[in-house]
Amino acid sequence: MIVLIGGVAGWLSGLILRGTGYGIIGDIIVGFIGAFVGNWLVRAFHFSVNLGSPVADRVVVSVVGAVLLMLILGMLRPRSFRERLSDVWRRR
């Protein structure tokens, strides 16, 4: 079940963060890892997610974890930093 939820979370996070995705396979892998990150964060900070369905709760937590993981990975990629920097200069 965690593989399916991680895959959905990765796909959704790739849609949320357009341009920072890693392709469908990469997004699914990041979503799978993000599911673990999201669950760890919920437990570490004693948050409670209750949407009425345990599957929906897990998907939301996994998507949040995958989005955070994609943002962190996006900041660590040198070329994305250069691209963002050049975008700032082009806008002026």
Helix (H), strand (E) counts: the chain: 4, 0
Cα torsion for 19, 57, 69, 81, to the nearest 10°? 30
For the chain, residues with pLDDT lower than 50 are 92
Exposed, middle or buried: residue 49 (CB in 10 Å: 0-12, 13-18, 19+)?
middle
Domain ranges of the chain: 2-91
- Residue 20 pLDDT: 58
- Residue 14 pLDDT: 81
Distance between CA 83 and CA 92 in Å, rounded?
15
